[in-house]
Amino acid sequence: MKTIVWDVDDVLNDLMRVWFEEFWRAKHPGTKTEYNAININPPHELFGVSKEEYLASLDDFRFSGLYDRLTPNREVLDWFVTYGAKCRHVALTRVPVAVSHVSAAWALKHYGQWIRSFHFIPSYRAGEHPPVYDENKGTYLTYFGKADLLIDDTIENIEAAEKAGVKTLTFPRPWNKSKLTVSQLLVAVSEVSK
Q: What is the pLDDT of residues 123-145, one digit of tens each?
A: 999 888 999 999 999 999 999 99
Q: Residue 97's Cα: distance from chain center in Å?
A: 15
149 in Cβ contact with 189 (< 8 Å): yes
> What pLDDT is attached to residue 194?
78
**Residue 171: which H helix or E strand, with range?**
none
pLDDT(44) > 90: yes
Spatial CB neighbours of 30, under 8 Å, sequence gap ≥ 6: none
pLDDT(177) > 90: no
Q: How many CB atoms lie within 10 A of CB 107?
A: 21
pLDDT(122) > 90: yes
Task: Give the whole-angstrom CA distance, residue 137 versus residue 133.
Answer: 11
Which of 99, 101, 21, 59 is CA-nearest to residue 51? 59
> What pLDDT is attached to residue 126?
87
Q: φ and ψ at 67, to 5 degrees?
A: -60, -40
